[in-house]
Structures are given as C-alpha cells and as structure tokens.
A = this chain, B = another copy of it.
Amino acid sequence: MSHNSFGHLFRVTTWGESHGPAIGCVVDGCPPRIPLTEADIQPWLDRRRPGQSKFTTQRQEPDRVKILSGVFEGMTTGTPISLLIENTDQRSRDYGDIATRYRPGHADLTYDLKYGVRDYRGGGRSSARETACRVAAGAIARKVLGPDVVIRGALTRIGVHAIDPARWDWSIVNENPLFCPDAATLPQWEDYLGEIRKAGSSIGAVIEIRAEGVPAGLGAPIYGKLDSDLASALMSINAVKGVEIGDGFDAATLSGEDNADAMRMDGGVLSFGSNHAGGVLGGISTGQPVVARFAVKPTSSILTPVASVSREGENVDVMTKGRHDPCVGIRAVPVGEAMMACVLADHLLRHRAQNG
C-alpha cells in the first residue's frame, strides 16, 4: 500500500513538490528489452508543459526528463526506471499570504488539517506539477502497450460550450492550444476563454480519452475492473470531480433497448453496432475502443476575493495574484492520456500473469 504509488505490476511511484529541487518518479515492473531513451518521453512532457499559449499559466519550466536507472544501452532492463525532472522556475517570491491563508477550493486547508504541516510553496505536493511525472510514466506505458494501442484525448467542453461530437476531427486536436477536436467550436472557445482570462476568472472543462486497439480480456472481476481502475486513475488527477465510461451519466436516462450494443460476426470477426459500454463489460475490455471522460472544475485561483480563514483562525479574504491558469482542464488532456496508458499497461501485465 502506498499513497504515492499507482498500478500493481506496472507500478509508478511519484515524489516531489512544486518548488523543491526536483520532482520525479520510479516506474517498477516494466518489461525488459523495450527500447527507451529520454527522447521517447520528452515529447509527451512538452505537450503538457505550461506557458505554450496565453490560455495556460505563464510559468516557464523546460521539464527536461533524465533517466537515472533501469535502462542500459537504450533498452529497459526490467529493473526500476527512475525519472527526474528538475524544478528550474522557482522564482523567488513571498509566499507569506499562501503560507498563512487557505485558498478556498485548494488543498491548502486539508493538508494542514491532516498533517499539521505543509510545504506551501506553489502548492507543494498538491501542485499540478506532479502530473508531469504521470505524463513521463505514461510515455513508458505506451511503449509497453506497443504501437497497436493508440491513446488520444481531447477537450469536449469548456464551461457552457460543448463540442458537437459529429464534427470530431482528430487531425486538428494537436494543432490547436485547446486540444479542441471540433473546428467550428474552436473560435468560440478562444473568445470565451479570452474573456475569462481578462476577467481573472476561471472555468471548468470535460476531457475525453479514447484508447483504440486495446485487446479483449484486459481487466478483472470484481475489484480489479478495468473501468474501476480507470475511474480511480482519472479521479486522482488534480481538480477532477467526475468520471464516466462510455455513455456514462447519459446511460442513466436510457432504456435497455437504447443502451444495447448489438453484436454480429463479421467475416469471422466480432463486431459491435455501437459502443455505449465504452469498451468495457463486467470490468473487462471487449476489444472495442475504451472511452472515458472526466470533468475538471475551474481553478479556485481567481482575482475575485473569496471569503476564507487563516491558519490562526481569523476570517480573511483571499484573491490570487500573478500567474494564472484560466482553464486547468486544458493541460489535463495529456495527463488523462497518460493515466489511461498506465492503467492499460498494468492490466496487460496482470492479464498475462493469470492467463499466460
């Protein structure tokens, strides 16, 4: 049991605070003889990196990953892979306010309630910076899964504006800073987010992650279900408040007839008429695309003052100055993909263990 580890056979342990010397992770259980260099990991980190558009925080971090162990002559050895990312943008500043006042909606309060102490610099351990480690681990998980498993994500909603799934176009997702899959919605989002940013406000979002090429049979009854582990993985991302598989909450409104995924043999191959189930039945993958969605709340770091309390028990108002992320959901896309990759890699090994 570990609060800072994830997965069972493909097991990721992360460590580090926002403003300490470095953050990092240890990936244990990776199969041997997989070609791996830092160049396999860095592009995924670059995609998550802040400061690449006006819609994300202007914090500048090169996020250069170093492999410290577990790889020899460009190949995994089966021993733990230690990854390290130095923190370089530890801009000297006064944390006085955050140190003594709890930002509403942040983990400031609860860390103090739990531990009686916290590293308040830049959010400390609760900083979204930790998700860089997830992305790095996810890059390795993709190598374990191999090229046939394709994991992609996109934003499907920012605040009140949802995309039209009928216009979904994967080819534009990585070409715009909002990971928007709907060309018609993109300009709408840009205007909307621009207003929010100028107002010093923030807004929530929904992200969809889709894994194609997942072999049938991954997952396990009863408490090792693939969707159960996905729910845990996605809910563990900062600011996530909801997770869906397949039709998700919409399934609650459907009749059995409308929710049924008809099956047919098609040239000796099993095919489905629809994918309401999101690729998972009874906790086990069907071979259809695995589809998950998660909701990210608006960051509570806003310019409008909010009533709060101080460490000393005084009533105070808190407003957040300085660098600002109007929609933290944007950068959650690569993180969600990485968590999907880690869950699938773990279940691939788990399946192989029991079923040979």
Contacts and interface: CB of A to CB of B under 8 A. Distances in A.
Nearest to A286: B110
B80 A307 contact: no
Interface string A244-275: 11111111111111011111110010100100
Contact of A110 (B1, B256, B284): B284
A102 B263 CA distance: 9
A78 interface: yes
B251 A204 contact: yes
Interface residues of A, number: 151
B283 A107 contact: yes
A323 interface: no
A58 interface: no
From DSSP, what is the main secondary structure of chain A's interface residues? mixed
A255 B307 contact: no
A113 interface: yes
Contacts of A299: 256
A33 B115 CA distance: 8
A256 B284 CA distance: 37
Contact of A350 (B116, B245, B306, B353): B353
A277 B82 CA distance: 31
Given A3-B223, A228-B232, A13 B16 contact: no
Interface in A146-194: 157, 159-160
B204 A252 contact: yes
29 contacts: A1-B8, A1-B11, A4-B222, A14-B80, A17-B70, A21-B68, A23-B69, A69-B125, A76-B117, A78-B115, A79-B125, A104-B262, A107-B221, A110-B217, A114-B216, A114-B217, A205-B252, A223-B232, A223-B236, A241-B248, A241-B249, A242-B244, A254-B297, A260-B302, A262-B307, A263-B309, A264-B309, A265-B313, A265-B315
